[in-house]
Structure 1
Amino acid sequence: MRDARTVLLVEGASDLVAVETLAVRRGRDLAGEGVRVLPMGGATNVGHFLELLGPRGRGLRLAGLYDAAEEGFVRRGLDRAGLGTAASAARIAELGFHVCVRDLEDELIRALGTDGVQEVLAAEGDLRSFRLFQRQPAQQGRELTAQLRRFIGTRSGRKEAYARLLVHALDLDRVPRPLDGVLASAAPPADGR
């Protein structure tokens, strides 16, 4: 973290994997650009990281991803850290923090489409497990998108694995807006510093 000029704050490990995977697909060398992706262990910790790394701390350039349900934490954290008044999601995005409607997995599933996600599951040998999962009473009657989100999060390490796989499967013209936005927020400044 010593050589970082920009830090992208993300909620967890799967978000880190998705951002780093997209960076590679876009031909970016985040480490070479002085960009670090830092999982915070949940959005409730954002204020701590903003204070530690922002203008009152290390003075680094900051951007990030968050889920819509966690917007209050992000808004208060940005305000308290002196990064600017975050009165709306649009203003928060101007400050470099991009909102996922539910979470990043949901954004990826919508961008790829349920058929595309099931193709990825099939390629990984998980489609049969998913079909068994769909038969569970708790999954009956739920939308396919919700079933896919839940399945991806059911086993340790699966969210991270599927973050990578789903980002690899995406057409680069269909990358979810928040994921593209946070990576764009980490673009090197025009003056190269």
Structure 2
Amino acid sequence: MTEPLPDGAGESGSAVARFEHAAAMWSERAGAVPVPVPPEVAGALLVEGASDRAACREASRLLGVDPAAAGVAILPMGGAMSVRRFVGLLRPAHLRLHGLCDAGEAGFFERAGLDAGSVSVCRPDLEGELLRALGADRTEAVLAREGDLGLFRTFQRQPAQRERPVLAQLHRFLGTTSGRKEQYGRVLTEELTPSELPAPLREAVESAVRP
């Protein structure tokens, strides 16, 4: 679902925000006419979905950088298989491109023409990186703050989950309800200090905004 148009900071930020909104609408319609890339957009960070975008935005805040003000759009693609379509849209505008993806999806980025230095790979995925960075106790504290700890305790009692490590249970729990990954992509990242950010997430944000 396309989100409301965000407010950008300054002329460049506003142009980037409008482009992010237009690209999101374009990505939802197969065969749609490509959207024009405004001159204010100098680069793009290509991410798989909304949870990755939420984490990138929060990581940017923690690192004290503003991708929109730097002319960098953060573009969720609705899955790694769409990366070739996005690269086809953006390459003619000669943008700096960087990708953030799960380990199992890195091949899609490679086949779309992004070299290894232009892709930050999460192992096995962004949620796994964030959970390792926080650990089980801190993650459960976030769940309690968000009102989901009771639901997680019920989830842990399911027969398929009882013998699994807590981090594995948490990883599965984050994917059980629509919208939960996006919510926790933001709040788990928010819980970290800049030095605790997972390396792929930090690298993706810093590489995208680097001149």
TM over 0.5: yes
SS of equivalent residue, structure 1 residue 38: strand
Alpha-carbon RMSD: 1.3
Deviation of the 1:171 alpha carbon: 2.0
1:138 matched to which residue of 2? 160
Q: Which amino acid counterpart does residue 58 of structure 1 have in structure 2?
A: A
CA apart distance, 1:107: 0.4
Q: Within 1, Cα distance between the matches of 2:120 and 2:66?
A: 21
Report the equivalent of 1:22.
59
> Percent identity between the aligned chains?
50
1:89 aligns with: none
Partners of 1:4 and 1:113 lie apart in 2 by 37
Structure 2 residues without counterparts, runs of 5 or longer: 1-18, 20-37
SS of aligned partner of 1:33:
coil
Letter in 1 for 2:199: R
Amino acid at match of 2:156: Q
Secondary structure of residue in 1 paired with 2:55: helix
**Match 1:70 to one of 105, 111, 114:** 105
Q: 2:99 aligns to what SS in structure 1? A: strand
Give the whole-Å Cα distance in 1 for the aligned partners of 2:135 and 2:193.
11
Q: Deviations over 1:132-174 (max 9, x none)?
A: 0111122122221121011112112111111111011012111
Whole-Å separation in 2 of the counterparts to 1:168 and 1:109: 12
User: Which one of the candidate residues 25, 43, 58 is aligned to 1:6?
Assistant: 43
User: 1:18 is matched by which residue type in structure 2?
Assistant: A
Residue 139 of structure 1 aligns to a residue in which SS?
A: coil
Answer yes or no: is 1:38 the counterpart of 2:75.
Answer: yes
Deviations 1:72-106 (A, max 9, x none): 2111111xxxx5xx4xxxxx1x2x21000111011
SS at match of 2:73: strand
Say which SS state the counterpart of residue 64 (structure 1) adopts. Answer: strand
The 3-state SS of whatever aligns with 2:112 is helix
Alignment of 1:1-193 (within 5 A): 1=19, 2=38, 3-54=40-91, 57-78=92-113, 86=115, 92=116, 94=117, 96-189=118-211
Q: How many residues align?
A: 174
Give, in whole Å, the separation in 1 of the partners of 2:104 and 2:69: 33
What SS does the aligned partner of 2:70 have?
coil
- Give distance in 2, aligned partners of 1:30 and 1:74: 21
The code of the aligned residue for 1:123 comes to R
Q: What stretches of structure 1 of length at least 5 have no aligned partner?
A: 87-91
Secondary structure at the residue paired with 1:120? Answer: helix
Could you tell me how far apart the structure 2 residues matched to 1:16 and 1:7 are? Answer: 12
What is the TM-score of this pair, normalised by structure 2? 0.79
